[in-house]
């Protein structure tokens, strides 16, 4: 028997898949072939079951054949394919992530074969005026493994069947009459649903994510014996066993994005696609683990997993497989933010927000434990979830329906948990729970309630509450810092904080000041706080997201979105103010020193900068005293100044800011305007530590404030620097270093 269409995917390179039975040369769509911000790239090919296979990225990879070039189907159909899902589809509107389809469900035409939530899969057909579906739930398709799938329909018997690895796993009987497949005028698509749901204007949902090989269509219904024999024949060259797939063959390849001129290289980023805030930092057996909100399906917020990085020094990092993924039991709709703590045996445990839209509220707290004791894996790649939520919000506890982001630590013989929520009619808060065993938690009440009427920018709910001790010169001060992110009407999404006292006996936080402070003055870029007390150094460390600020259309073309800010060390200064500094380990990434000058006037200093052309560097800059009212430095500047991002200090108004009105000529980018905030120097000279990492700019001023912003210049020569100010201002010192990447990537 011969197929009527066949894609072997044995090309192994390029952007065309050849069908020898029809002669068609089908184009492979892939976002990075456009080459918008880096050289154009071909779709990704990997080793297949036979020859090579095509890796579908879950949002932009698909093949399309015009309807008038497609074979006709009527009374019988067989589809066979080898697939290895990388992740599952959310199943928006109960539509399938199509392996292959030519259909319109609403018009009751054609067929679709594909996957849905948690590895369930289905063949769906228009038979006459009925839409008929056969589903397999009991044998979900495993992630990261090859599966031979087959689907058949035979009009004579009226049966739809599904086969997995040569065995029948589902049957659907459709009446007694001989019913033909209603033809469709849609194009045939591989990897993308004909009628996928549109998200954020740019993204089509219901797309296949993973490896595909040896896709065949037949205009007959193969028998169970034929399908089993075909399965065995494919495995003959593998000794009769299904070959394992190396992790790197299915992982999102970080190398695909390394040449993107806007993607940071020494800050933390996901391998690709979407990330939200980094969270749940913890140290174990010589390694730091950090997790992050991650969508493996594409560069958009949707089906959130926990991504996972590991490092020995907080600056050199490795990518690991996703630590937590949604499962059908009690967290089917997302694994949202949380934290990590040591369990009763001293092993890491993860506390996360369960997303389950079938429940009210749809958020509760889950627990996952490492399998380190069983497998000895220092990378902690495997986690086992507790079989039910450990904390569920009840009516009357907090702002009902808004209950998330558990933050857990151990204090003496019990664990304390904060959960972000609010008090209706009053303001945001965190509910405090305590436990002696990590499973049974007792509510103690609100930690501290913000005043929404007086400070509406704090919103009605807190997200991501973090409570950390503050030290001074390595010694305890008795003070803590409470950090939160506001949510709700009127909320201004910034990292707000209070310094105060943690009343461990009363489970209360007592702030020293009613109005919160801001760590960062960059306006919305520095968000999503998470923290830890580093057991190696005793430091209180803060991790944040560095928002990307771009449009969905640009994110689509790039294939990645957002990144992390630099880890920050928080202390209590001698003057009672919060001390904010990038971690000392960042100096390990310094490469060649590009500049080292002292005591220059402005013209001399700018002359020394003329040969500095870079988009990845660190700058230490101290201004001397002078008559300038406003002074600063232009970054990512073109030689003619047509594009530049200006960091400035307004001495009269005591404001640290950034002017992005000339950051880019690309009107499709959102970067514009002036962002600024209070910085009181109290007679000190301005000292800046500036990190430029392509589009991500971080500025630390006098150990008091940070300023995080983004810049996406359109011109390739936006690589220069220029100091600003009155001519009589002096530059006390200025040093510049190259910075090495945080991840080792082979291009």
Within this chain, do residues 728 and 636 fall inside the same structural domain, yes or no?
yes
Confirm whether 177 is domain-assigned.
Answer: yes
> Within 10 A of 608 (CB to CB), how many other CB atoms are there?
18
Average pLDDT, the chain: 97
Say which CATH number the domain at 45 has.
2.60.120.200
Within this chain, do residues 687 and 720 fall inside the same structural domain, yes or no?
yes
Within this chain, do residues 81 and 96 fall inside the same structural domain, yes or no?
yes
| Structural domains of the chain, count | 3
Separation CA 392–CA 433 (nearest Å): 11
Say which CATH number the domain at 547 has.
2.115.10.20
Check pLDDT > 80 for residue 747: no
Confirm whether 256 is domain-assigned.
Answer: no
Cβ pair 720, 612 in contact under 8 A: yes
Cβ pair 553, 577 in contact under 8 A: no
pLDDT of residue 415: 98
CA geometry: angle at 374 spanning 371 and 379, to 5°? Answer: 50
Give the contacts of 737 (CB within 8 A, at least 6 positions apart): 590, 591, 592, 593, 594, 617, 618
CA geometry: angle at 216 spanning 210 and 221, to 5°? Answer: 125
Within this chain, do residues 545 and 608 fall inside the same structural domain, yes or no?
no
Which helix (H) or strand (E) element contains residue 557? helix 552-558
Q: In 397-548, which ranges are E strands?
A: 404-411, 414-423, 427-435, 441-446, 461-472, 475-487, 496-503, 508-511, 517-518, 526-533, 540-546
Within this chain, do residues 245 and 293 fall inside the same structural domain, yes or no?
no
pLDDT tens digits, 89-104 = 999 999 999 999 999 9
Last residue of a domain, one of 526, 554, 582: 582
pLDDT of residue 581: 98
Within this chain, do residues 605 and 544 fall inside the same structural domain, yes or no?
no
Last residue of a domain, one of 552, 582, 612: 582
Cβ pair 467, 407 in contact under 8 A: yes
Say which CATH number the domain at 603 has.
2.60.120.560
Confirm whether 745 is domain-assigned.
Answer: no
CA geometry: angle at 574 spanning 568 and 575, to 5°? Answer: 100
How long is the chain? 747
Separation CA 88–CA 143 (nearest Å): 8
Pairing of strands 496-503, 508-511: antiparallel
pLDDT of residue 727: 73
Cβ pair 252, 271 in contact under 8 A: yes
From the number of C-beta atoms within 10 Å of its C-beta (0-12, 13-18, 19+), residue 548 rates as: buried
pLDDT tens digits, 463-514 = 999 999 999 999 999 999 999 999 999 999 999 999 999 999 999 999 999 9
Q: Does 746 or 298 have the greater pLDDT score?
A: 298
pLDDT tens digits, 250-272 = 999 999 999 999 999 999 999 99
Separation CA 481–CA 465 (nearest Å): 10
pLDDT of residue 1: 81
Check pLDDT > 80 for residue 3: yes
Within this chain, do residues 72 and 176 fall inside the same structural domain, yes or no?
yes
Domain of residue 498 covers 275-582
Confidence class for position 74, pLDDT limits 50, 70, 90: confident
Asked which of 400-409, 638-647, 711-720, 723-732 is least confident by mean pLDDT, the reply is 723-732
Within this chain, do residues 35 and 178 fall inside the same structural domain, yes or no?
yes
Confirm whether 497 is domain-assigned.
Answer: yes
pLDDT of residue 52: 98
Nearest to 734 by CA among 634, 604, 621, 610: 621
Check pLDDT > 80 for residue 627: no
Could you give the percent of the chain with pLDDT greater than 90?
97
Check pLDDT > 80 for residue 79: yes
Check pLDDT > 90 for residue 625: no
Confirm whether 35 is domain-assigned.
Answer: yes
Last residue of a domain, one of 249, 264, 296: 249
């Amino acid at each position: 028997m011969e197929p009527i269409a066949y894609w072997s995917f044995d090309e192994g390179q390029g952007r065309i898949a050849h069908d020898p039975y029809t002669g068609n040369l089908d184009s492979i769509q892939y976002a990075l072939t456009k080459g918008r911000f880096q050289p154009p790239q071909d779709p990704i090919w990997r080793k297949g079951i036979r020859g090579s296979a095509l890796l579908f990225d879950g949002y932009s990879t698909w093949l399309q054949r015009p309807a008038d070039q497609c074979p006709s189907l009527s009374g019988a159909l067989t589809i066979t394919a080898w697939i290895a899902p990388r992740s599952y589809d959310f199943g928006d509107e109960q539509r399938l992530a199509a392996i292959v389809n030519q259909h319109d469900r609403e018009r009751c035409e054609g067929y679709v074969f594909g996957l849905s939530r948690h590895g369930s899969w289905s063949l769906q057909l228009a038979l006459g005026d009925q839409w008929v579906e056969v589903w397999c739930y009991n044998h979900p398709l495993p992630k990261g493994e090859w599966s031979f799938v087959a689907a058949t329909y035979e009009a004579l018997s009226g049966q739809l069947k599904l086969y997995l690895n040569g065995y029948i796993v589902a049957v659907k009987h459709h009446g007694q009459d001989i019913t033909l497949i209603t033809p469709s005028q849609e194009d045939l698509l591989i990897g993308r649903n004909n009628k996928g749901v549109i998200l954020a204007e740019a993204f089509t949902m219901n797309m296949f994510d993973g490896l595909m090989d040896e896709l065949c269509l037949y205009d007959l219904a193969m028998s169970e014996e034929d399908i089993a024999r075909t399965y065995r024949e494919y495995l003959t060259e593998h000794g009769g066993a299904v070959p394992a797939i190396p992790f790197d063959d299915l992982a999102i390849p970080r190398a695909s994005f390394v040449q993107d001129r806007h993607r940071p290289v020494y800050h933390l980023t996901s391998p690709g696609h979407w990330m939200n805030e980094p969270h749940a930092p913890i140290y174990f057996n010589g390694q730091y683990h950090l997790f992050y909100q991650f969508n493996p399906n594409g560069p958009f917020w949707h089906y959130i997993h926990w991504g996972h990085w590991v490092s020995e020094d907080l600056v050199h990092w490795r990518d690991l497989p996703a630590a937590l993924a949604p499962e059908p039991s009690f967290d089917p709709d997302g694994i949202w933010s949380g934290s990590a703590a040591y369990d009763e045996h001293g092993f890491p445990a993860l506390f996360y927000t369960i997303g389950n839209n079938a429940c009210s509220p749809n958020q509760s707290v889950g627990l996952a434990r490492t399998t380190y004791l069983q497998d000895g894996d220092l990378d902690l790649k495997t986690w086992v979830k507790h079989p039910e939520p450990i904390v569920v919000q009840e009516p009357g506890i907090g702002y009902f329906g808004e209950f998330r982001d558990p933050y857990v630590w151990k204090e003496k013989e019990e664990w304390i948990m904060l959960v972000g929520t609010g008090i209706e009619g009053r303001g945001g808060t965190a509910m405090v729970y305590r436990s002696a065993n990590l499973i049974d938690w007792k509510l103690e009440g609100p930690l501290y309630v913000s005043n929404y009427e007086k400070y509406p920018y704090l919103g009605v709910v807190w997200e991501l509450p973090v409570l950390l001790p503050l030290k001074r010169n390595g010694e305890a001060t008795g003070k803590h810092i409470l950090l939160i992110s506001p949510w709700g009407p009127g909320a201004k999404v910034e990292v707000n904080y209070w310094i105060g006292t943690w009343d461990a006996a009363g489970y209360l936080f007592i702030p020293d000041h009613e109005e919160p402070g801001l760590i960062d003055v960059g306006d919305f870029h520095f968000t999503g706080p998470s923290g830890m007390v580093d057991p190696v150094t005793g430091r209180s460390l803060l991790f944040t997201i560095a928002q990307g600020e771009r449009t969905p259309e640009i994110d689509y073309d790039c294939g990645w979105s957002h990144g992390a800010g630099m880890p920050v060390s928080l202390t209590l200064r001698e003057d009672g103010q919060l001390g904010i500094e990038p971690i000392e380990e960042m100096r390990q990434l310094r490469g060649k020193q590009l500049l080292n000058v002292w005591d220059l006037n402005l013209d001399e200093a700018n002359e020394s900068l003329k040969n500095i052309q870079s988009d990845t560097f660190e700058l230490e800059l101290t201004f001397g005293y002078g008559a300038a009212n406003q002074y600063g430095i232009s970054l990512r500047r073109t030689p003619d100044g047509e594009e530049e991002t200006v960091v400035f200090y307004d001495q009269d108004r005591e404001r640290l800011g950034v002017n992005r009105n000339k950051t880019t000529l690309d009107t499709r980018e959102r970067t514009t305007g002036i962002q600024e905030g209070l910085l009181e120097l109290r007679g000190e000279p301005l000292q800046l530590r500036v990190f430029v990492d392509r589009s991500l700019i971080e500025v630390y001023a006098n150990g008091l404030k940070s300023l995080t912003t983004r810049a996406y210049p359109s011109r390739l020569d936006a690589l220069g620097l220029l100091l600003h100010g009155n001519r009589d201002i002096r530059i006390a010192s200025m040093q510049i270093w190259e910075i090495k990447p945080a991840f080792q990537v082979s291009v």
